[in-house]
Chain A
């Protein structure tokens, strides 16, 4: 069974640009959540989608947005990039929304560097 696939794995952008990251969940999983991981702040929740609807959103500015498609694939977008957006962005999929069982299956992440 294929795991969670995130693309691209690495990318470098400059301040002011925008970026789109993609996540393909495990087949049959309808819930996708996104996290930002940095050495100083650890893993921070960005947002969660279930059946194309955003269920929950973390405390991030509006420059961070996402969406989910009918095949459960998800994308997140960061506009007007800032140096502080440099991080590992992780996507996780699960059968049920809300992470209630804790059984989140994570991808390997997209490492974004903003110069």
Chain B
């Protein structure tokens, strides 16, 4: 059973069409939830860290929120350059384990 699930697997949007990506988790003892962006042929690029339910972070057209069991990455008025795979990861447990979701591939068409 996956401990970190991202949905949808793929999302196609028109430029300017806002939407949200979801990251749900089942681990206990969450210490942090991270969002990354990965472009083809590149390593992931850090976007946000969220530590507790209710927390929100924003960067340009992206806004990340966190509840007790999931996180959302809201994309407002996306542009083609926002096309990428978005990964979330949860950091949990006393030993500090990091688990990544399988990502949402976002395509924004002009």
**A interface residues (Cβ-Cβ under 8 A, vs B):** 4, 33, 35, 41-45, 56, 90, 92, 98-109
CA distance A101 to B101 in the complex (A): 17
B74 interface residue (CB < 8 Å to A) = no
- Encoded as 1 (CB less than 8 Å from any A CB) or 0, chain B from 28 to 69 comes to 000111100000011111101100000000000000000000
Chain B contact residues: helix, strand, loop or mixed: strand
**B44, A106: Cβ atoms closer than 8 Å:** yes
Shortest CB–CB separation between residue B3 and chain A, in angstroms?
12
**B96, A56: Cβ atoms closer than 8 Å:** yes
Known: A4-B43, A100-B32, A101-B32. A42 touches B100 (CB 8 A): yes
**B interface residues (Cβ-Cβ under 8 A, vs A):** 31-34, 41-46, 48-49, 87, 89, 91, 95-103
**B87, A102: Cβ atoms closer than 8 Å:** no
Which residue of chain A is the closest to B89 with respect to CB atoms? A102
Residues of A within 8 A of B102 (CB): 41-42
Residues of A within 8 A of B32 (CB): 100-102
CA distance A42 to B101 in the complex (A): 7
Shortest CB–CB separation between residue A92 and chain B, in angstroms?
7
